[in-house]
């Protein structure tokens, strides 16, 4: 498995925050995160790669907070999918480092990734429509409560996924 393929998600992770036209400190945080990601790929270290992804997420978040523009749903989706695929590609490469991988395994993994991307894209569309409907129904003062509940549910889902993965 070639490590060159992880360059595609890293390029997307680098390009999406640049669309916001943010400040110089955000670019430095992003550059540091991308360098840490590259080190994680080169050293086959998932912890280093995850740290780099966290830095890039921080840079993207700060860039969105400093930007006057609204959040671009397509850009955010591409950014999230790039991080997901970067971590999955790096883990796949780490697991099969130095091994000859059969073409049927690569095909099955590619089908899995395509299905995952399709599912994620559909979920983003669904959640965007639900968010628009809630924005129309919920009065302005209560929107922060609904957003907070959504954040708590997202955190609980992520925590459940981590706990379930470590148990098996």
In a domain, 38, yes or no: yes
CB 34 within 8 A of CB 114: no
Residue of 6, 28, 26 whose CA lies nearest to 83: 6
Average pLDDT, whole number, for the chain?
88
Backbone φ/ψ region at 99: left (φ over 0), alpha (ψ -120 to 50), beta: beta
| Cα–Cα dist 36/54, whole Å | 10
Say how many residues make up the chain. 168
pLDDT of residue 110: 92
Could you tell me the residue range of the domain that residue 156 belongs to? 140-168
pLDDT of residue 96: 86
Count of the separate structural domains present in the chain: 2
Q: What is the mean pLDDT of residues 85-89?
A: 91
Residue 80 and residue 9 share a domain: yes
Whether 123 is in a domain gets the answer no
Residue 159, helix vs strand vs coil: helix
- The verdict on 95 and 36 lying in the same domain is yes
């Amino acid at each position: 498995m070639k490590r060159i393929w992880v360059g595609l998600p890293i390029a997307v992770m680098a390009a999406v925050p640049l669309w916001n036209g943010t400040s110089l400190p955000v670019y430095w945080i992003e550059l540091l995160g991308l360098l840490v990601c590259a080190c994680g790929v080169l050293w086959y270290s998932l912890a280093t790669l995850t740290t780099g992804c966290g830095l890039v997420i921080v840079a993207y978040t700060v860039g969105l907070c400093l930007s006057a523009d609204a959040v671009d749903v397509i850009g955010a989706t591409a950014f999230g999918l790039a991080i997901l695929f970067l971590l999955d590609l790096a883990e796949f490469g780490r697991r099969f480092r130095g091994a000859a991988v059969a073409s049927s395994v690569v095909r099955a993994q590619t089908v899995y990734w395509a299905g995952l991307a399709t599912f994620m894209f559909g979920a983003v569309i669904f959640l965007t429509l639900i968010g628009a409907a809630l924005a129309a129904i919920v009065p302005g003062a209560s929107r922060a409560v609904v957003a907070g509940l959504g954040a708590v549910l997202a955190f609980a889902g992520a925590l459940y996924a981590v706990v379930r993965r470590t148990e098996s």
